[in-house]
């Protein structure tokens, strides 16, 4: 009989998922030597190597792939057990594990705060990442729910929209276009645009919009954060396209302006997403219902629009 501990399996699964000892250590809040020690003890127990190194990269061995399959199944069963036990506690002492794309971080904490005021004894774990990382977390089934603008089409997921996500063109207040009304979309070809990284939902929506209008944009700086785009636009490096929810403060303080461009805003939607066959806890179900019923009223962008 194998004497494998749950701790060893948890550490192994993290290393196998990241294919990196250092990233696994970071995600588990352990030191890298501690992670290496757990893997060494596990390999000694099963008497087979679990990883092999080629250059600077590590790969799963045949034994590692086999163990990874079973460790994920065990982890899922443990997670299901935790959900079942949390359901017995109701909404008094449950836990919500949620990830949001970086753009949604401008409003998600506000919604979570409202939810936690209603259920003060629950524990919330909020992870803010780019779209690619959130999709991987969904694929690896390590989160309960995710908030994103563009749900994936290649994952077996359930998704519901809960709030409009209008994309607008932003400019520094001194930009000549700020004095114009009903700016033709074609006029934007003369401007430089600061864009998000490839794979970003905002960038994908922007590219689809301009392609449908047969417009080719001049791109300037590329960045993986909305905050960097806002700062660069304020500095006069170009124009940007971002969610109206992300610029409320800058509009109120008159550090940015939303341009009055024809066919804008591009209306998208925020979605709450989870794996289709995932067993959601009572807390996760309650938060999903809270978003669907109340988020639109709590986070209406009318305040930002009033600042234009």
What is the residue range of 188's domain?
Answer: 165-268
The reply to whether 263 and 169 lie within a common domain is: yes
Q: Is residue 308 part of a domain?
A: no
pLDDT tens by residue, the chain, 308 residues: 678 999 999 999 999 999 999 999 998 999 999 999 999 999 999 999 999 999 889 999 999 999 999 998 898 888 778 777 766 666 666 789 999 998 899 999 999 999 999 988 888 999 999 888 999 899 888 899 999 988 888 778 999 999 999 999 999 999 999 999 999 999 999 999 999 988 888 888 999 999 999 988 888 889 888 999 999 999 999 999 999 999 999 999 999 999 999 999 999 999 999 998 888 888 899 999 999 999 888 775 544 443 34
Q: Contact, 82 vs 94, CB < 8 A?
A: no
Question: Considering the domain boundaries, does residue 307 fall inside one?
Answer: no
Same domain, 259 and 208: yes
Residues 174 and 255 occupy one common structural domain: yes
Report residue 199 as tokens: 């794979």
Whether residue 280 is contained in a domain is answered as yes
Residue 89 lies in a domain: yes
Residues 133 and 279 reside in one and the same domain:
yes
The answer on 261 and 275 residing in a single domain is: no
Is 191 found in the same domain as 132?
no
Of 35, 50, 83, the domain-final residue: 83
Q: Are residues 191 and 249 in the same domain?
A: yes
From 83, 115, 143, give the residue that closes a domain. Answer: 83
Supply the CATH number for residue 14's domain: 1.10.10.10
Per-residue pLDDT tens for 34-47?
A: 999 999 999 999 99
CA nearest neighbour of 230 among 258, 204, 209, 207: 258
The verdict on residue 95 lying in a domain is yes
Which of 26, 55, 83 lies at the terminal end of a domain, its last residue?
A: 83
Domain-located, residue 93: yes
In this structure, the answer to whether residues 95 and 115 fall within a common structural domain is yes
On whether both 148 and 284 belong to a single domain, the answer is yes
Q: Based on the domain organization, do 190 and 260 belong to the same domain?
A: yes
Tell me: do 184 and 95 sit in the same domain.
no
Do the bridges between strand 266-275 and strand 157-171 make them parallel or antiparallel, or are there none, so unpaired?
Answer: antiparallel
The whole model's pTM is what? 0.67
| Residue 197 resides in a domain | yes
Residue 1 lies in a domain: no
State whether 175 and 261 are in the same domain.
Answer: yes
User: What CATH number did the domain enclosing 187 receive?
Assistant: 3.40.190.10
The count of domains in the chain is 3
């Amino acid at each position: 009989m194998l004497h494998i501990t749950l701790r060893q399996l948890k550490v192994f699964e993290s290393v196998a998922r990241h294919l990196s000892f250092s990233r696994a250590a970071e995600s588990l809040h352990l030191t890298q030597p501690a992670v290496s020690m757990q893997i060494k003890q596990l390999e000694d127990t099963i008497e087979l190597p679990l990883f092999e190194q080629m250059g600077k990269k590590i790969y799963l061995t045949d034994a590692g792939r086999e163990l990874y399959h079973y460790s994920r199944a065990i982890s899922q069963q443990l997670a299901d057990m935790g959900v079942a036990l949390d359901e017995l506690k109701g909404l008094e002492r449950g836990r919500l594990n949620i990830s949001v794309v970086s753009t949604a971080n401008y409003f998600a904490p506000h919604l979570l705060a409202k939810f936690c005021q209603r259920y003060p004894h629950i524990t919330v774990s909020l992870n803010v990442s780019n779209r690619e990382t959130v999709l991987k977390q969904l694929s690896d089934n390590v989160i309960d729910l995710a908030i994103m603008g563009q749900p994936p089409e290649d994952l077996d997921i359930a998704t519901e929209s809960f709030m409009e996500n209008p994309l607008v063109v932003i400019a520094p207040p001194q930009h000549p276009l700020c004095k114009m009304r009903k700016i033709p979309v074609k006029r934007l070809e003369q401007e430089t645009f600061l864009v998000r990284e490839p794979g970003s939902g905002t960038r994908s929506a922007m590219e689809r919009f301009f392609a449908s209008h047969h417009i080719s944009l001049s791109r300037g700086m590329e960045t993986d954060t909305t905050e960097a785009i806002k700062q660069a636009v304020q500095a006069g490096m170009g124009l940007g396209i971002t969610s109206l929810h992300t610029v409320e403060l800058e509009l109120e303080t008159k550090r940015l302006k939303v341009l009055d461009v024809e066919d804008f805003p591009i209306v998208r939607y925020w979605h709450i997403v989870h794996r289709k066959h995932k067993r959601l806890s009572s807390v996760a179900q309650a938060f999903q219902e809270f978003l669907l019923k109340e988020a639109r009223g709590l986070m209406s962008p009318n305040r930002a629009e009033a600042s234009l």
